[in-house]
Chains A and B, each alone.
Chain A
């Protein structure tokens, strides 16, 4: 897996603290929804670090980075890195946490924060392929302002049901109390286990652990619960 040079061709704010970057990568071999890339940053004295970012789109190298205020890399990517800049990139990486358009079982996506990114790639891949497989997305964010892809998720996409879990502040009129994701969210907005859905859970490690445990506790086959931990 070789390092390639990727150039930013588009950059737009996703939320006040997150940014979508579209990269041009010569000879990109293509990828599946759910795969990620590794970026390598090198300071002028040779100091170098790498981070992983999920691909957000099935047909182009698009990522979305959430700024972690005391982070080493993400503030650079959200605040400094701009159209025309180049970076080293390797990928696509990861062949397990993927959705293939030929799959026929129902899909449950559970996202925590920036964990939406690879799941959005799956939703977009479904649309691009004209798949009729029913999808359900449970998207947990702290506040309505932190929703990535808000407009796109609001537009009707037949067969894709979206529900939100707000953990700190809910929009006006919301009936669900503000709290972390729990059993009721998963049973109300997920699929019953006997539908044998494929479940994809992505987000910070603690979120992923909680949700994966809940899914197994309500009877989902552990081998159908795939997880991606953002650390």
Chain B
């Protein structure tokens, strides 16, 4: 699929599967939320991508399920220091959802049912790094874990993986979200321990 770049070898770095600094592994799945759990019936569920020019792309629940899905197995890292290794998900890649979205925006604000928001650079949503996930460990995603669907961006602290995801707003300027305005780090790379503003 990818076009080969003749003569390009690159410099591989081996990916040792260690925990990011300050994290401990956990077997269970802690629940941490900024508020009460929203209950969103799937017949009223909708997911939207809104561009900086106001163009809106939407998917209903059946439309989302009809798209080709992927089953990533990924490590996840919570800013409260637990990491959960090799978690199994099913969902739709953001690459697919963004494929026909024409946008020059550098930033995204993720909006959730319940009003939660979080921001991240658009490039962190692409290239096989992010999904709208609706199944965990073979089961429908439970409401306390963000069901019916949540964002999954495993390479950033898990507060960026917004539960009950409702939409993605593409913005030209960075707009910090709920935790980011409350003193958390704007980007949140677990390997750099970017927990709080100034880290």
B2 touches A96 (CB 8 A): no
* A47:B173 contact, CB within 8 angstroms: no
Q: Does A145 contact B (CB under 8 A)?
A: no
In the complex, whether B9 has a CB less than 8 A from a CB of chain A is: yes
Interface residues of A in 68-86 (CB under 8 A from B): 72-73, 76, 80-81, 85-86
Decide: B8 and A43 in contact? CB cutoff 8 A.
yes
Partner of B4 from the list A1, A44, A49 (CB cut-off 8 Å) is: A44
Docked CA distance A94–B103 (Å): 9
Residue pair A95, B106 in contact (C-beta under 8 Å): yes
Which chain B residues border A50 with CB–CB below 8 Å?
127
A92 to B3, CA, bound (A): 19
* Cα distance, A21 to B109, chains bound together (Å): 34
| Contact flag A87-B102 (CB < 8 Å), given A47-B12, A49-B10 | no
**Interface flags, B2-41, vs A, CB<8A=1, else 0:** 1111111111100000000000000000000000000000
**A1, B51: Cα distance in complex, Å:** 12
B193 at the interface (CB under 8 A from A): no
Known: A87-B3, A92-B104, A93-B106. A2 touches B99 (CB 8 A): yes
Chain A residues whose CB sits within 8 angstroms of the CB of B65 once the complex forms: none
- With A92-B104, A94-B106, A96-B173 already in contact, the answer to whether A42 and B126 are too (CB < 8 A) is no
Contacting residue for A42 out of B3, B52, B105, B173, CB 8 A? B3
Given contacts A41-B8, A43-B9, A95-B172, contact A48 B105 (CB under 8 A): no
Whether A40 sits at the interface, judged by CB under 8 Å, is yes
| A46 at the binding interface (Cβ < 8 Å) | yes
B104 touching A42 by the CB < 8 A rule?
Answer: no
Complexed CA–CA distance, A29 and B102 (Å):
10
Residue contact A43 to B5, C-beta cutoff 8 Å: yes
Count of chain B residues with Cβ under 8 Å from any Cβ of A?
Answer: 25
Known: A1-B126, A96-B172. A76 touches B8 (CB 8 A): yes
Q: Is A5 touching B3 in the complex (CB atoms < 8 A)?
A: yes
CA distance in complex: A93, B104 (Å): 5
B104 with A80: CB separation less than 8 A: no
A35 interface contact, C-beta 8 A: yes
Taken together as a complex, chains A and B put the C-alpha atoms of A59 and B184 apart, in Å, by 41
Contact A46 B2 (CB under 8 A): yes
B residues less than 8 Å from A48 (CB atoms):
2, 10
A88 at the interface (CB under 8 A from B): yes
Query: What's the least CB distance linking A43 to chain B, in Å?
Result: 5
A90: nearest residue on chain B (CB-CB)? B126
Q: Which A residues are in CB contact (< 8 Å) with B123? A: 38, 93
Residues in B with CB closer than 8 Å to A87 are: 3, 5
Contact indicator B5/A1 (Cβ below 8 Å): no
CA distance A73 to B101 in the complex (A): 28
Given known pairs A2-B99, A72-B11, A95-B52, the reply for A88 and B173 (CB within 8 Å) is no
Q: Min CB distance, A227 to chain B, in Å?
A: 12
| B145 CB, min distance to chain A CBs, angstroms | 30
Structural contact, A1 and B8, CB atoms closer than 8 A: no
Find out whether the CB atom of A40 lies under 8 angstroms from the CB atom of B2.
Answer: yes
B106 is contacted by which of A5, A40, A76, A96 (Cβ under 8 Å)? A96
Contacting residues of chain A (85-109) with chain B, CB-CB under 8 angstroms? 85-88, 92-96
In the bound complex, how far is the Cα of B104 from the Cα of A94, in angstroms? 5
| Contact of B98 with A by CB under 8 A | yes
Contact A85 B6 (CB under 8 A): yes
Please measure, in the bound complex, the distance between the C-alpha atom of A81 and the C-alpha atom of B3, giving whole angstroms.
14
Contact of A88 among B2, B12, B99 (CB under 8 A): B2
Q: Which residue of B lies closest to A39 (CB)?
A: B5
12 sampled A-B residue pairs with Cβ under 8 A? A29-B102, A38-B123, A40-B2, A41-B10, A43-B10, A44-B4, A72-B10, A73-B10, A93-B104, A95-B106, A96-B172, A96-B173
Chain B residues engaging chain A, CB cutoff 8 angstroms: 2-12, 52, 98-99, 101-106, 123, 126-127, 172-173
**4 nearest A-B pairs in the assembled complex, by CB-CB distance:** A95-B104, A41-B5, A42-B2, A95-B172
